[in-house]
Chains A and B, each alone.
Chain A
Amino acid sequence: MHITKTSKSFTNDQFNWSEYFSENRHSYVLTNDDIIEMIPRVRSYLTESPNLMALILTKLLKRLLKNYSIPENPNILELGAGTGTLTRWLITRYGGKGMLVDNNENSYQAYKNTNHELIDDMDIFYTINDIFSFETHNTFDIVGSFGLIEHFKDKTEVLNAHKKFLKKDGIILLLVPCDTFLSRVYWDLHPELNHGYRELLTAEELSEIAAQNNLKKIDVLKSDGYVYDFLAGLFTLAS
């Protein structure tokens, strides 16, 4: 249970019930010092937690994939992979092997530092490479990204990179931050995370982007219970 903070300067008889749901009356209650004190507290509520992420991601992907038959030991490609969270989840669940592509050396180091002994149990190949120019002879059952396409205004090029090495009957998994009040607050409160361009998308917008790029939507679902909201979309190539 969490008890909400009660205003120190606003008594019940001062409360204007007629305006409870209307005008923003914070200036009657909050000083600038109150607001400055509030920000770190709210930031601490909305702090990333790897374990909570693992549970929420599991909840979301289990729901997304429950009616879809993932081939045994799938071959997985993750673009802009960072620490390869999506691939690690898929291999833990379905086995198979993964290729992670990211052009950032720091991402690779972060991946290696994410308890590499456990990762080394998994058949994962990490290549520090540009997602648009890297080449491979492999084709993949699953091509995915987690927090990638929202950084590109032009979605066609980045989605083409997803389609390039996808098997004909393969699937594309796109995970992006979702445009909700919570997500907007999260990124406003964490300016240190805002390096460059990022779109927050609704499920409808993600579906529309996919359709414009010849992807057939199987489903798009929103997470529930994390410190920001994100979408997971399951797509195939449109015939």
Chain B
Amino acid sequence: MSARKEIRRFIEDSLKKMRKEVTFSDSDNIFEQKIVNSLFSMRLINFLEKTYHITIEESDLIEKNFSSIDNIISFLTRKNISTQP
């Protein structure tokens, strides 16, 4: 499965647990649209570190890197993570 699909699945699974029925595109800002909350952000960072075996550095911890699926993919690409299946 591609990273894009894995990340979408992670977000959608979290939303299901929160009983939120939301449709969003890969470019939608999930923070600005208040689709997710602070607990989700903590889990997302943990998910990315564990799934892709990366260390998210202090300088990486800015909203833009995690605000949409597109931005997360760009971030992983900059971290030299292959995002293709």
Interface residues of A (CB under 8 A from B): 49-56, 58-59, 62-63, 85, 88-89, 92-93, 114-115, 117-119, 121, 225
Contact = CB atoms under 8 A, between A and B. Distances in A.
Interface in B1-57: 14, 17-19, 31, 36-43, 45-46
Contacts of A62: 58
A89 B42 CA distance: 7
A50 B38 contact: yes
Given A54-B38, A88-B42, A92-B43, 8 more contacts: A58-B41, A58-B45, A89-B42, A114-B37, A115-B17, A115-B18, A118-B14, A119-B39
Contact of B17 (A63, A88, A118): A118
Nearest to B32: A51
Contacts of B36: 51
A117 B40 CA distance: 11
Contact of A54 (B18, B42, B62): B42
7 contacts: A49-B31, A51-B41, A55-B61, A59-B61, A92-B46, A114-B38, A115-B39
Contacts of A117: 17-19
A115 B38 CA distance: 10
Contacts of A225: 62
Dominant secondary structure at the A interface: helix
Contacts of A63: 58
Dominant secondary structure at the B interface: helix
Interface of B: 14, 17-19, 31, 36-43, 45-46, 58, 61-63, 66
A62 B57 CA distance: 9
A49 B29 CA distance: 14
Contacts of A49: 31
A114 B40 CA distance: 10
A50 B63 CA distance: 11
A51 B63 contact: yes
Nearest to B42: A92
Contacts of B62: 55, 225
A114 B14 CA distance: 13
Nearest to A116: B18
A54 B41 contact: yes
B61 A115 contact: no
Contacts of A93: 42, 46
A114 B42 CA distance: 13
A58 B61 contact: yes
A62 B58 CA distance: 8
A55 B39 CA distance: 10
Contacts of A56: 61
